[in-house]
Amino acid sequence: MIAVLGLVVGVIGGIVLQPTVPLSVQPYLPIAVVAALDALFGGLRALLDGIFDDRVFVVSFLSNAVVAALIVFLGDQLGVGTQLSTAVVVVLGIRIFSNAAAIRRHLFKA
């Protein structure tokens, strides 16, 4: 419940504050968001698997976002930023799908 509340609070905060993303962060924020989404779905799946651990969740959430951003940053430095961010999004998308499938199997037995 607190997690859902936090989500709502964050959305409202974003709408109300209307912050501008600093230019240096702009390329990495969307990747970090996708990585965080992946961590969120992973956490939900772990919860249903009965192996949820808050420490693991927090660490994986933060490290996923940071690593994804780092990969894109490295790709930008190497001149393959666009391709690498595409690769990261694809990988994270696949993981989100598989996590969502596992959650679905848990909830609906199908």
Partner 1 sequence: MSVTDPPGSPDAPEPPDRRSPWRTIGQALRPRGSRSQLLAGLLCALLGFAVVVQVRQNQVEGLSRLPQSELVRILDQANQRTDDLEREAAALEATRQELLSGSGQQAAALEAATAAAETQGILSGRLPAQGPGIELVISDPRGDITPIALFNVLEELRNAGAEAIQLDDVRIVASSYFTGAPGAVVVDGVPVEAPYRWTVIGDPDTMGPALEIPGGALAQIRNYGGSGTPQSRLQVEVTATRAVPEPRFATPLPADEG
Q: Which residues bind partner 1 (CB under 8 A)?
A: 1-11, 13-15, 18-21, 26-27, 29-30, 32-33, 36-37, 39-40, 42-43, 45-61, 63-64, 81-82, 99, 106-107
Percent helix, strand and coil across the chain, each to the nearest 5: 80, 0, 20
Residue 83: CB minimum distance to partner 1, A: 10
**Single-letter code of the amino acid located at 69:** A
Residue 16: CB minimum distance to partner 1, A: 10
Element (DSSP H or E) covering residue 89: helix 81-108
Of 4 and 77, the one with the shorter C-beta distance to partner 1 is 4
Q: Which of 110, 60, 36, 34 lies closest to 51, judged by CA?
A: 60
Of 43 and 88, the one with the shorter C-beta distance to partner 1 is 43
Residue 88: CB minimum distance to partner 1, A: 15
Helix axes of 81-108 and 54-78: crossing angle, nearest 10 degrees:
160
Of 53 and 93, the one with the shorter C-beta distance to partner 1 is 53
